[in-house]
């Protein structure tokens, strides 16, 4: 699947970011081999709930590391950060529990 997706860039001189494609490829490989679940992350950019959840958990975690105001529980709670993080973590955990 990865080769089919990257084939459209092979005949052009257009530059593109390879990292998102490799990230989704890795997610597919890990999900199929370790959990026995076919996610088809390479076919879905962000519309699959598990993929979107993983992406947003990563984004929220990095914002917590980079932004000093998120270091305090009160500001995380007031900003809605905790609610978002809990929701997306639960989306990811639910798939893991189903397996």
Confidence of residue 46 (pLDDT cuts 50, 70, 90): low
Please report, for the chain, the start and end positions of each structural domain, with discontinuous segments joined by +.
Answer: 1-44, 46-99
What pLDDT does 44 receive?
A: 66
More confident residue, 87 or 7: 87
- Give the tens place of pLDDT for each residue, 50-79: 888 888 999 999 999 999 999 999 999 999
Residue 48's nearest CA partner among 63, 36, 37, 35 is 37
Residue 60's nearest CA partner among 26, 94, 83, 44 is 83
Alpha-carbon distances, residue 5 vs 40, 73, 89 (angstroms): 13, 42, 29
Report the distance separating Cα 46 and Cα 57, nearest Å: 13
Report the distance separating Cα 39 and Cα 37, nearest Å: 6
């Amino acid at each position: 699947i990865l080769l089919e997706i990257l084939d459209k860039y092979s005949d052009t001189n257009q530059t593109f970011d390879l990292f998102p494609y490799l990230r989704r490829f890795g997610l597919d490989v890990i999900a199929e081999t370790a959990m026995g679940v076919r996610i088809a992350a390479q076919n879905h950019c962000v519309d699959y709930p598990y993929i979107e959840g993983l992406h947003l958990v990563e984004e929220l975690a990095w914002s917590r590391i980079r932004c000093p105001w998120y270091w305090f529980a009160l500001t995380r709670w007031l900003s809605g950060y905790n609610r978002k993080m809990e929701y997306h973590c639960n989306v990811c955990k639910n798939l893991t529990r189903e397996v």
